[in-house]
Structure 1
């Protein structure tokens, strides 16, 4: 989803580009069953399990520099009214929610201020003050707005839905940042000191302290359960494995006082996943979904989705449905509706979603991305409104109500 290949070109990283090409070639080996370590009959990862914290369908919501008061992109300014279109099914023209919708929300970002980006190597790296500001933004436009939305949707439906499962992104500790600051350096009892992300121990400390900060400093609000954390980077650079395992161990060691343990999840992109996604359990993740990248890459949709089905079965993972309003695959002539329909048809063909009177959904799903879905619901364009109706199909199963999960 992030402009990965563009980033590679901008950085002149020929080595990384060759690695991506090599990953593509490995896909052939994978689908012939030649990649060691991938069970061929274990998946896909089912919805609503303890390992996912109960998540069946989780919407990514982007809150970042474009969400700040002086930014002028309404897509990224979030409030309770917008979350009502994600927690509940509230189609165009409706004054009240008509059904439940997503049971999970993932807070994430990409752009920041002053040319900074969450993605390493694209723009300038974030520092401790940026991480603090991101936390404040996600708390207000994320957690608090989401809680208010659940209250409104419950009132509309005259019921009390299960709490929305909230996952919070862990910002990536970019190795270029050697003067991070001291705001996330004391959670293990040491003295405050400025961290240097060229040092592995400092990268681990900062990410662990981010997790501790979210758990201990964010309030517990009605209608929302802090369920876990998301590892931001969609690939696994050499040397990051111990970092990720260290974060996973830290998350799992946090006391939850009788509540379910906190979870850790990941959404790798397709070319990375074909040769490393089977390692997700060994890295400490509780579950993972894989991006098909059909909306963004020059690939044949039917072939890629068939490969995706094989991949998620072989790696015991779920699937991400990428349904933005801007697509880059030339197969679709930059038409988002055509791209959406290709994902929709694949989800039904492979039973990633289900049908009334037929098979139930087989796979846990993440959805890229909630900001666009709100636009679909509120647009004056009837064609976009129709896509929001199909979002309901994908989440609740065609012809079904999500209230059956309540």
Structure 2
């Protein structure tokens, strides 16, 4: 299967070329190849820069050059206002503090310069100086008393465009003067970085103006937008010389992956088509979290020429404050190897994808699948309705089985379930996931990954079955991998709380809260999200589960939602509804452990192109706000329980769910539950999203993605809805 994957990824990239796609931003065009983001450089001495300037061997000695460019950023807020440099209302004092920190004796730029000298003592003089990129803070229009920058004694009001431009010009001039005073031999000022990661209509004028200021002074302008951020397609028109696109995969992989490795393929296709680079991202604690290491290795592996090919492009590297240093000094040998693999990647070597099935025997309905024969390699197989069996070379812990699916002209939806067995044991249920594979799109949508849960130790073999929901569409798979081992589990009988919805008091303030029954109260959005009738979720997935109270002949389900792009509010990428006679095994959920739920009595799917637009208007910032409905026809299928699965990007704003039976909306006032909970207004450090406390996954230690924490509450009340009156013997709370 591994060879199939490599050849098919090449086939996909050929499709992109045939379609007339452009090329990545090259190092020759850009002026650097591998640029690392350095936060809080004012706190780093030479020892803090050396592991980034050069790869350090086991003895702590440089043995090869590493990053050829350094982007100096700010992690903390400004010392005067406490506001974020990325998008907050910072002021002149904050901007001066940021610049001055780079010039501190023995720190910042001087420390970087010294680290280069130390590496040259071992490796010899660099052929080219190290490139330096300086951050330009975001001139927020919310700051009306920025400070005086033109000597007239008056505060600049950044709500005025000319004041935003004046502040940026003052900042650039001051930065250039400081750079000249440093006389930094061995370093070269590449240019400036626009720190705001989106460029909506309200920022176009100021961005273009800053670009002119940078170019007039002979320097270049860099931007690193988040995945499909406003303005990312227009990066050249905005005035940037180089743009590098964030995949955001490393930060959206909780709960079986809201985003999987197909995001790397999609990001690569978008970046290649637009002449951009691809950002490399690593989670916040890979030195202790195996899954975070696994994800970063996927970033490295997918960059290879026979996959996405972005290894040869200009790249930026996000590693929080000092993740790569933590990997260097990690006690876990596997974590240290990731630092070495990073250096291998930078030097042009291929990095093996984690989870590949070397030595495994794979069969489809009992027929062995070739894993290397030239005459059969490169042909995806249809697994819809089939049994895929993976016999591992030796027993191991398995988290998930990932199916790399090639998207065709038609989509696929259904349930993918796993069974597992040990060396001598019987087959037993592993887990299941409700999945959808959309049709191929021209925007890089050529691949999808389905992650089917296993979450078991000492597994010798896994069986995977894909059951399409009433469709005959093909599910074409060209790569199968397994992820690292599971957390400790507490889900099997008699845990009555497994998968059940729950409520936490005090409930944190939500940005767009459900004030009680809003999704079935009959109040439909008629003016867009700002009207206040919609509940909001930021992220990538949502499940809404409704109980109609009795079995009905359901004609259609209607989801009323907002879109248009204003404030990153978008219509869902797709919606699927499942109708069932039996209450789902673990509502509301898109996945579960154990046997899969009963096959739905009816199902339907719609994507963003099929949203029926009810109205729209132009917003003040040049964007649009829209409202509409997703209508999912079920043709009179009988069922009591309705489960809606949403996939979205940015904000999903949902105002109403209707279920129509015999001409009547029978969902009015119906009981429902949502997972995750509506997004908090101010995210807490260990925020609970309404899923993790009953998902059956128990942290082995301090694992931030699997725990919830409250810093301000004197007492927390957790209420779990068991669905019915049940005899309870004991209640167990797992704490750290």
Q: Identify if the C-alpha distance between structure 1 residues 391 and 334 changes in structure 2 by more than 3 Å, giving closer, same or farther.
A: closer
Q: Which residue of 2 aligns with 1:330?
A: none
Instruction: Provide, for residues 196-249 of structure 1, a one-character-per-residue CA deviation record: whole Å limited to 9, x for no partner.
Output: 111111111111111111111232211111110000000012221110111111
Q: Which residue of 2 aligns with 1:392?
A: 343
Q: Which residue of 1 aligns with 2:21?
A: 41
Partner of residue 368 from structure 1, selected from 318, 332, 336: 318
In 1, are the aligned partners of 2:280 and 2:315 still within 8 Å (CA)? yes
Instruction: Provide, for residues 290-326 of structure 1, a one-character-per-residue CA deviation record: whole Å limited to 9, x for no partner.
Output: 0000011254423212211210121110010002334
Q: Which residue of 2 aligns with 1:232?
A: 195
Bigger RCO (CA 8 Å, 6+ sep): 1
Structure 1 or 2: more helix by fraction: 1
> Structure 1: which 5+ residue stretches go unaligned?
1-31, 34-38, 68-76, 255-260, 328-332, 354-360, 401-406
Alignment length, in residue pairs? 320
Q: Which residue of 2 aligns with 1:101?
A: 66
Instruction: Report the alpha carbon displacement of residue 352 of structure 1 after superposing the two structures with TM.
Output: 1.7
Q: Which residue of 1 aligns with 2:141?
A: 175
Instruction: Report the alpha carbon displacement of residue 115 of structure 1 after superposing the two structures with TM.
Output: 3.7
Distance 1:78 1:48 in 2: 30
Q: Which residue of 1 aligns with 2:32?
A: 55
Distance 1:160 1:45 in 2: 23
In 2, are the aligned partners of 1:84 and 1:149 still within 8 Å (CA)? yes
TM-score (norm 1): 0.74
RMSD: 2.4
Instruction: Report the alpha carbon displacement of residue 390 of structure 1 after superposing the two structures with TM.
Output: 1.2
In 2, are the aligned partners of 1:40 and 1:313 still within 8 Å (CA)? no
In 1, are the aligned partners of 2:198 and 2:232 still within 8 Å (CA)? no
Q: Identify if the C-alpha distance between structure 1 residues 152 and 176 changes in structure 2 by more than 3 Å, giving closer, same or farther.
A: same
- Please tell me whether Structure 1 or Structure 2 has the larger radius of gyration of its CA atoms: 2
Instruction: Report the alpha carbon displacement of residue 48 of structure 1 after superposing the two structures with TM.
Output: 3.0
Q: Which residue of 1 aligns with 2:279?
A: 320
Distance 2:283 2:170 in 1: 33
Partner of residue 291 from structure 1, selected from 239, 246, 252: 246
Distance 1:192 1:217 in 2: 23
Q: Which residue of 2 aligns with 1:351?
A: 309
Q: Which residue of 2 aligns with 1:132?
A: 96
The equivalences for 1:301-320 within 5 A come to 301-320=260-279
Q: Does 1:204 align with 2:165?
A: yes
Instruction: Report the alpha carbon displacement of residue 192 of structure 1 after superposing the two structures with TM.
Output: 4.7
Instruction: Provide, for residues 54-94 of structure 1, a one-character-per-residue CA deviation record: whole Å limited to 9, x for no partner.
Output: 20110000117xx6xxxxxxxxx311112111111113x32
Give the 3-state SS of the residue equivalent to 1:48 in structure 2. helix
> Structure 2: which 5+ residue stretches go unaligned?
1-14, 352-736
TM-score (norm 2): 0.42
Partner of residue 328 from structure 2, selected from 377, 386, 397: 377
In 2, are the aligned partners of 1:234 and 1:268 still within 8 Å (CA)? yes
Distance 1:203 1:300 in 2: 36
In 1, are the aligned partners of 2:145 and 2:155 still within 8 Å (CA)? yes
